[in-house]
Chains A and B, each alone.
Chain A
Amino acid sequence: MPAGPPHPPEPMAGSDVAPLAQRGFVIVAWVLVGCLVVQFFLVGLDLFEAMGESELHRDFAYIYGWLTPVLVLLATVAGLPRRVLLPTVALLALYAIQTYLPTIADTLPRIAALHAINALLVFWLAVQVARAVPWIPGATGTAGR
């Protein structure tokens, strides 16, 4: 059988997964931003007892908290650059700190009070991370413009 022209190399499985992971990252990042806005509203509901005595804010945090490790996973699979990966890991760390802070309210109240400021920081970083990654792989993000 005569040898034909060489076939082009088969695309690696990872090359198909990376763009999907990048799009997944963008979706999850903006969902996280939306959840954070809702979370701020739930603080208000609990604070002003709009729903009676409730802990909606605390319960909701455990519902969407898993989005931050998922973002780290998606960033790794998508092969996002370090300028995105590092803030994403920082976001995970800040979120973990955020859930820990209220637990030390009795022993270290002044440190626990940073829960509110850390919430601002988490929101700011989440928006930066979401804006940093374009929907279309290869295009440039909008963060820093």
Chain B
Amino acid sequence: MHVSRVVFAALAWLFVGLVVLQVFYAGMGLLGGAGMRQHVEFGYVVSGVPILVLIAAGAARAGQLAVYSAGLLLITFVQTVLPLLRDDLPFVAALHPVNALAIFWLGLFIARRATAFARRRAEETTEPVQAQPTAT
């Protein structure tokens, strides 16, 4: 049980790190002269991670955190769809950076809560054992 909580926290932090990297690739595309291809391709890699986060949350029986993880999966999926709407619904597509902010914020929230969740369990399992009375 404890291992699944640690895995859950690790995956959540991995996701936050990948989101930061993805934002950097966006910056490289816009200001670094690298084009948006790297950002687009890496986006599909990043968008797969919330599935693992959700599975890990379920395995760790994370309760409400599993619900938040499902929400994270949903808005990450929406993120991949938004740029496709640029021709038909450009004002909706323009929510792509705002949604990125929401993904970063929710990912960070889940990662911090998952860490506290794993630590709580670790403390429960490492409670000091009472000294056994010794025969004198």
- CB within 8 Å of A: which residues of B? 20, 23-24, 26-28, 30-34, 83, 86, 90-91, 93-98, 100-101, 104, 108
Q: Report how far A109 CA is from B96 CA in the complex, Å.
A: 23
Residues of A within 8 Å of B83, CB to CB, are 48
Among the listed B27, B33, B101, B108, which residue makes an inter-chain contact with A114, where contact means beta carbons less than 8 Å apart? B27
Residues of A within 8 Å of B93, CB to CB, are 44, 48, 50
Among the listed A102, A110, A112, A120, which residue makes an inter-chain contact with B23, where contact means beta carbons less than 8 Å apart? A120
Nearest B residue to A112 via CB reads B31
Among the listed A37, A43, A48, A116, which residue makes an inter-chain contact with B86, where contact means beta carbons less than 8 Å apart? A48
Any B CB within 8 A of the CB of A55: no
Is the pair A44, B101 in contact by a Cβ cutoff of 8 Å? no
Residues of B within 8 Å of A110, CB to CB, are 28, 32
Minimum distance in angstroms from B39 CB to a CB of chain A:
10
20 further interface pairs, Cβ-Cβ under 8 Å (given A49-B86, A50-B90, A124-B108): A37-B98, A41-B94, A43-B97, A44-B95, A44-B97, A45-B94, A48-B83, A48-B90, A49-B90, A50-B93, A109-B31, A109-B32, A109-B33, A110-B32, A112-B32, A113-B27, A116-B27, A117-B20, A117-B23, A120-B23
